[in-house]
A and B are shown apart, each in its own frame.
Chain A
Amino acid sequence: MARSHRRLSAGIAAFLILIAAAVRLLSVGGSQATDRFSSNAAALRDEFSALELELESLEPKGPYILIDTAENRLYLKQGEKILLDAVCSTGSGRRLRAAGRSWSFDTPKGHFRILSKEDDPIWVKPDWAFLEEGKPVPTREEDRVEKGVLGEHALGFGDGYFIHGTLYTRLLGQNVTHGCIRLGREDLDYLNQTVPLNAEVYIY
């Protein structure tokens, strides 16, 4: 009888010790996890802020140009404010194969800057402009020059691409160009007045 009592009390004691150990483990594990979580959360919060600041620093400071080639629209913005929302024309996506060479008439997508601004620009017609019309490529440079077809201003953003005017305003809103961006006269005037050299251009 006494022996069975002793066994019972030893069993109860062992059970209690087990419970205490489990409780201890739980509290240690839980608090360690909570500490780890809060320090991770603080580190993430700091990193968040730093990353967001870095991303904000990439945002353009002055007026910038957005060109949506799918919708044929040009936006001039400053911060969140839209200064100009204009219909434009962008690349036709056509391919030309002639004289053993090939050209793609796409508007390039990505990030660019306004590198030049010209008033009353003249067009020095490239080879494809003659080949496309079935004409021979001239040998004299002066035979390439055409006046008045680019409108009153041309804003260059590199690799021979320009934002310029057009004589054919009925084609605005369509993908018809050789890669340049065409704008109507009033919109081009405003853009030319507002956008400084080195302004950022985002084409997508």
Chain B
Amino acid sequence: MRWALLFSGLLAVAPNSLGLDRERTAQQLRYRLELAAGSLPYLLITPGSTVIFVKGLQVKRLPIREATGLGHGKSRASQVETMMPVAPVRKIILRADEPRFDSTRVAPDEAVSVDDMPKAFLVELRDGSLFYVRSGAWHGVSYWFREKILQLRLTWSYLGVILTGNLDASLIQLEMDGSWARRLFWTLQKGSGVIY
């Protein structure tokens, strides 16, 4: 009897699991609407790409080579809390007592462009989930070393999140082409919405 009940139970579960993807997509649509109420760009992360939206309008798509840790269950949404690049992002600070440039004479290396953005970085979301974005290519010993430090930081942060009892927190790794990773970093800012 128990086997029969178990078997009938399995039968009852099967169709629901077929509906999980639909439920996930519906949840993503709900989040897209919710985040469209704000004015900042927000992201939808899927296994194949990162889609950037502004006010509900899809404006850009950044391909992902490989994504691990993205759940198949319920979709979730949160906001970017902190972003940690593999190396500090170049900052140009002008001071009134230094030789200065105006915007008519500025040279490319006197401005911050997308090429200055990191190819590997860690994003902490407000719900405790962590995104680790990397390009996977060899960029030299110094870069490799910095990346290992960032990965240690990632493990430490994730352990911290789990130890505080937040068992729902996800650890997601996205492998992207370096130029797409830089563009993703460029788009993100504190408070940006992320649907995953």
Contacts of A68 in B (CB 8 A): 59-60
A33 interface hit (Cβ, 8 Å): yes
B4 touches A26 (CB 8 A): yes
A25 touches B100 (CB 8 A): no
**Residue of B whose beta carbon sits closest to that of A55:** B56
Which 8 A-B pairs have CB atoms at the shortest separation, nearest pair first?
A93-B112, A22-B4, A29-B8, A98-B96, A58-B56, A33-B12, A37-B15, A92-B111
**Interface set, chain B 1-30, CB cutoff 8 A to A:** 1, 3-5, 7-9, 11-16, 18-19, 22-23, 25-26, 29-30
A133 interface hit (Cβ, 8 Å): yes
Contacts of A197 in B (CB 8 A): none
Contacts of B52 in A (CB 8 A): 204
Chain A residues within 8 Å of B, Cβ to Cβ: 18, 21-22, 25-26, 28-30, 32-34, 36-37, 40-41, 44, 47-48, 51-52, 54-55, 58-60, 66, 68-71, 92-99, 109-112, 129, 131-134, 167-168, 171, 174-178, 200, 202-204
In terms of DSSP, what is the predominant structure of the interface of chain A? mixed
Binds A, one of B70-78, B168-176, B181-189: B181-189
Total number of residue pairs linking A and B with CB closer than 8 Å: 164
Instruction: Pick the contact of B96: A71, A93, A134 (CB < 8 A).
Output: A134
Contacts of A133 in B (CB 8 A): 100, 102
Tell me whether A92 and B110 are in contact in the complex, defined as CB-CB below 8 angstroms, given that A98-B96, A132-B94 are known contacts: yes
Instruction: Report the Cα distance A111→B104, complex, angstroms.
Output: 28
B16 touches A109 (CB 8 A): no
Binds A, one of B35-43, B121-129, B137-145, B152-160: B35-43
Instruction: Pick the contact of A59: B4, B22, B56 (CB < 8 A).
Output: B56
**Interface set, chain B 176-196, CB cutoff 8 A to A:** 182-183, 186-187, 189
Contacts of A25 in B (CB 8 A): 4-5, 8
A204 touches B33 (CB 8 A): no
B56 touches A94 (CB 8 A): no
A30 touches B57 (CB 8 A): no
Instruction: Report the Cα distance A59→B94, complex, angstroms.
Output: 40
**Residue of B whose beta carbon sits closest to that of A109:** B41
B113 interface hit (Cβ, 8 Å): yes
B54 touches A111 (CB 8 A): yes
B4 touches A92 (CB 8 A): no
Instruction: Report the Cα distance A25→B52, complex, angstroms.
Output: 49
A174 touches B4 (CB 8 A): no
B19 touches A44 (CB 8 A): yes
Q: What is the minimal beta-carbon distance from B37 to any residue of chain A, in angstroms?
A: 10
Instruction: Pick the contact of A94: B13, B92, B114, B186 (CB < 8 A).
Output: B92
Instruction: Report the Cα distance A58→B33, complex, angstroms.
Output: 9
Contacts of B88 in A (CB 8 A): none
B11 touches A26 (CB 8 A): yes
